[in-house]
Chains A and B, each alone.
Chain A
């Protein structure tokens, strides 16, 4: 019933999209971190209007499933872009946007609010005495941030950031709904091709599992190295 040969072949075939999935996930994480940093700054410095908008956005993104967001963005974004470009008189067919861009945008926006919380927590976790020591030695605001706050906050944030990477990798399985081929997408194609869905999905599950275990191990190694001397 379970064809080991098909399963192993599935592992090999699906593995081919792992690098692409990883790259995509890391790119989304990077964007989410950059946006998260801006969100943190807006909230921290209580920028009028923007900080209120963010509060609503945060609550909205927390309360909506990613699938819904993806469907919404796929419906809304092309129309929005088309109406903008039309009013500007630029010839542009928004329906030709690569789906992968919409996936990247949706995921990075939805994750950015969580990244901003991670950043906030990490910065708060830095002992105030560390900053005071830098100030007392004559470090400027930026020197204190760059040399003391940031490196120590990074250590604190690292496990959460790596966890976000795993969340993205698993979440990207939704992207197959929009023709972006990741691990699950590849498995579905393979299953259709061989008519052996069980083996194909089993292979996909195993690959997800191994990938996450490996990434966790690597993350632990890096974290251990970062925490050297840090109790």
Chain B
């Protein structure tokens, strides 16, 4: 359903993505893992063209786009089939919770106010924030804001939801509530591409794990084949940082 071919991207002379191929089937939960600065987030942002790849193809549903010749119309179409949950939530600061979820439906999908309201209430109920409809983002905790942003993304009924380190900016005690909401989304059969450093969570929910390093995909496969049975030296080295003494924080984790 989502297929990326030979995707390349550079910032100035620095090659960030060096020819990525990625397949995502309908209902897949694909998790990108790997050290920081490896291009996981960049790859995710290429899917909805928040980053502009220099080369490559993307097929999503009935769209078949060559990044080199992408048009404004195609960018919009790509973005309207996907939704993104950001590390920093990025809720509209000057809008209440309910407005945040309603507005995109009314603007992008031209839904009526009533229809948008009903969908929004339903989605906000699912993330457990039905009592916060009139709050502003600044009045919510990070975990609550992230749950609103998930509701906002899902309300648009996208083909794929892109999660960009959704728990990395949260206080440790708030991580759980957001992971639980993501797990609920997974259980609905939604197609998901996720970037995270929560390894045990990734292991639990993913249908496919993609391990990236230095702008390349090193290895991909089922949770078991990566987390338990991998024979690749680089993969094992990376995962060891998480498996061994958690208190012994590595450089990568500090800068993560």
B108 touching A138 by the CB < 8 A rule? yes
B156 touching A137 by the CB < 8 A rule? yes
B93 touching A138 by the CB < 8 A rule? no
In whole Å, how far is B221's beta carbon from the nearest beta carbon of chain A?
Answer: 29
A135 touching B136 by the CB < 8 A rule? no
B156 touching A138 by the CB < 8 A rule? yes
CA distance A147 to B95 in the complex (A): 10
B93 touching A136 by the CB < 8 A rule? no
Which of chain B's residues have a CB closer than 8 A to the CB of A231?
93, 138
Closest A residue by C-beta to B87? A129
Tell me if A195 is interfacial: C-beta within 8 Å of chain B: no
A155 touching B94 by the CB < 8 A rule? yes
Tell me if B34 is interfacial: C-beta within 8 Å of chain A: no
CA distance A139 to B104 in the complex (A): 8
The stretch of B74-82, B111-119, B180-188, B247-255 in contact with A is B74-82
A-B contact count (CB 8 A): 71
Contact with A along B88-105 (1 / 0, CB 8 A): 101111111000000110
B108 touching A229 by the CB < 8 A rule? no
Residues of A in contact with B, size category:
20 to 34
B94 touching A133 by the CB < 8 A rule? no
Interface residue from A127, A135, A143 paired with B107 (Cβ < 8 Å): A143
Tell me if A130 is interfacial: C-beta within 8 Å of chain B: yes
In whole Å, how far is B146's beta carbon from the nearest beta carbon of chain A?
Answer: 13
Closest B residue by C-beta to A141? B72
Chain A positions within 8 Å of B, measured between CB atoms, are 127, 129-130, 132-140, 143, 147-148, 151-152, 155, 228-231
17 contacts between A and B (CB under 8 A): A129-B88, A132-B50, A133-B84, A133-B86, A133-B90, A135-B48, A136-B82, A136-B162, A137-B108, A137-B152, A137-B156, A138-B104, A139-B108, A147-B107, A155-B94, A229-B94, A229-B137
Chain B positions within 8 Å of A, measured between CB atoms, are 48, 50, 76, 79-80, 82-84, 86, 88, 90-96, 103-104, 107-108, 135-139, 149, 152-153, 156, 162
